[in-house]
Amino acid sequence: MPHSPAGPPTPPVPLAGLLALEDLGLRLIAGPDDAELLWVHTSEMADPYPYLLGGELLLSAGVLLTDPDTYVARLVEAGAAALGFGVRPVHDTVPPELVAACDRHGLPLVEVPPGTPFTAIARAVWGLMAAARHRELRRVTRAQQALATAAARPDPIPAVLHQLAVRLSGRAALLAADGEELHAAGPPPAPEVRAALARLARVVAPGVRPAPASATDALGASHLSAYALGGGRQLALTLATDHREAGDHTVAGIAVVLLSLLAAPHQGAGAAGRSAALVRLLLGADPADVAPLLGGDGRWAVVHARRSAGAVADPLTVGALGAALGSALVDADRDGGTVRVLVPGGDRITAQPGWTLGASAPAPADALDAADAQAGRALGRAEATRAPLAVDAPLSGLAALLPPGPAADRARALLAPLTAPLAETLRCWLSLHGSWDRTAVALSVHRNTVRQRIARCGALLEMDLDDMDVRTELWLALRQE
């Protein structure tokens, strides 16, 4: 049974790289040239098997060489990577029987010329290993920087997976516990590879039995691995690559940490209280009675959000938005179009990369339906003006000084001839300074439809909508609703 090589202190060195050093004068005279060296060892024992770890370039002058075939067979059994045979003073040439035995057993045989000391070969191997280690550290450092940058992008999870797939030259995917592929980057794998990755993901999935943090496998030429994500989510990062290098596990570990943070559900300090409030509301409790459980001043802001550039809002991205806004109460349309978030307090809503947001003013629990409408209008205005965030602010300034009772009565009387769609079109058109195109974008209708509706409003109200005094009065009336 061959030895299993212990983990090398540095990445392995290709034998071809050592042969390329012309000052050593080494020459491959038997066996393949694709060996990789983990160590260098010198021995003149007739059977060095007990002293080999595997992966060595064994250097020998053949002092006790009597049976080349048995000698080579034992080296192969021990897992030696190659044999370097020194010419002179013991042997004038490499014994032909040794050459034949190495060819027969597939062990690379390197001829070491008389002028090359074994110590020079060892020094050269250590030098190549140090250079390989430096390259590997630089590769891991660059990968870490690229992954961290990707995590700050508007689409952090797909961006991290893309960078991971590029850095490892393979396929990177995020799998749910049932094997569903939530996000992926890199060339699609063959069906059998995909099935093998799903099996690996189940191996690392948390369950009744303790699960390992990672698992590896191989299928043909594909190297497969799976890593469990933290944060209590039954998610796994899976990788399929055509080769595996020493630093790949480190790079994957960095990605696991980032993805765990990005995919982790938000758990605020008052999550339990807010959940209790939600349950009580669903069971029919009066909103005023559950308001104390909501935390803060018992007010909430409603946020409507849509992904920028028409991207679809998947569950993980939606959860990340909720976490960024400080709330676990998130609802998304089935088609991933509009996302609604209930934010406690609502005074610190900020723009989020990759999203367009519309937010209502903070409202008590019994006025969230009106706040929901405000957030929808604010989102339309944000999209129309290409702003990342629009907030439907409460009345302020001179408008706030109007007596609420008489002002509301006057507003209802003034706007009575308008249907709800007409009033909403008029409100949006006035808020966008009479811009036909922006109003069309905000309402998702054609600009001609906006023109027709505004003309209809003017006719029903019997007012000149080009008059600034009329526009001001109508705007104040609409704000009183």
pLDDT digits (tens, 9 = 90+) for 239-283: 999 988 878 888 888 888 888 877 765 444 455 555 566 556 556
Residues 323 and 310 sit within 8 Å (Cβ to Cβ): no
Using a 10 angstrom Cβ sphere, with 0-12 exposed, 13-18 middle and 19 or more buried, the burial of residue 451 is: middle
Inform me whether the pLDDT recorded for 381 exceeds 90: no
The C-alpha atoms of residue 110 and residue 442 are separated, in whole angstroms, by 75
Task: Read off the pLDDT of each residue in 333-355 and give the average, rounded to a whole number.
Answer: 78
Q: What's the confidence (pLDDT) of residue 290? A: 63
Task: Read off the pLDDT of each residue in 28-43 and give the average, rounded to a whole number.
Answer: 93
Helix (H) or strand (E) run with residue 111 in it: strand 109-112
The C-alpha atoms of residue 20 and residue 42 are separated, in whole angstroms, by 21
Q: What's the confidence (pLDDT) of residue 187? A: 92
The C-alpha atoms of residue 389 and residue 378 are separated, in whole angstroms, by 8
pLDDT band at 7 (very low <50, low <70, confident <90, very high): very low
pLDDT band at 432 (very low <50, low <70, confident <90, very high): confident
CATH class in words for 152-263: alpha beta
Task: Read off the pLDDT of each residue in 312-316 and give the average, rounded to a whole number.
Answer: 75
Inform me whether the pLDDT recorded for 171 exceeds 90: yes
Q: What's the confidence (pLDDT) of residue 398? A: 54
Report the SS3 class of residue 332.
strand
Distant-in-sequence, close-in-space partners of 169: CB < 8 Å, separation ≥ 6: 241, 242, 243
* Domain ranges (residues) in the chain: 13-129, 152-263, 297-394, 398-479
Q: Which of 111-120, 198-207, 276-285 has the lowest mean pLDDT?
A: 276-285
Q: Which amino acid is at 181?
A: E
- Exposure letters 121-133 (e unless 16+ CB within 10 A, then b): bbebbeebbeebb
Inform me whether the pLDDT recorded for 40 exceeds 60: yes
Q: What's the confidence (pLDDT) of residue 168? A: 92
Q: What's the confidence (pLDDT) of residue 241? A: 92
Q: Which two tokens stand for residue 202?
A: 């189940």
Task: Read off the pLDDT of each residue in 105-133 and give the average, rounded to a whole number.
Answer: 93
Cα–chain-centroid distance for residue 466? 52
Please give the sequence-ordered ranges of beta strands (E in DSSP) within 199-350, or none if there are none: 214-219, 222-228, 235-241, 299-307, 330-332, 338-344
Cα 205 to Cα 175, 182, 214, 249, distances in angstroms: 10, 15, 10, 19
pLDDT band at 59 (very low <50, low <70, confident <90, very high): very high
13-129: CATH topology is: 3.40.1390
The C-alpha atoms of residue 89 and residue 120 are separated, in whole angstroms, by 17
**∠ Cα 141 144 149 (to 5°):** 130
The C-alpha atoms of residue 9 and residue 38 are separated, in whole angstroms, by 8
> pTM, whole model, 2 decimals?
0.54
The C-alpha atoms of residue 339 and residue 183 are separated, in whole angstroms, by 19
Inform me whether the pLDDT recorded for 1 exceeds 50: no
Task: Place domain 398-479 in its CATH homologous superfamily.
Answer: PucR C-terminal helix-turn-helix domain (1.10.10.2840)
Inform me whether the pLDDT recorded for 148 exceeds 60: yes
Strands 56-60 and 82-86: parallel
User: What are the pLDDT digits (tens) for 404-426?
Assistant: 557 677 778 888 888 888 888 88
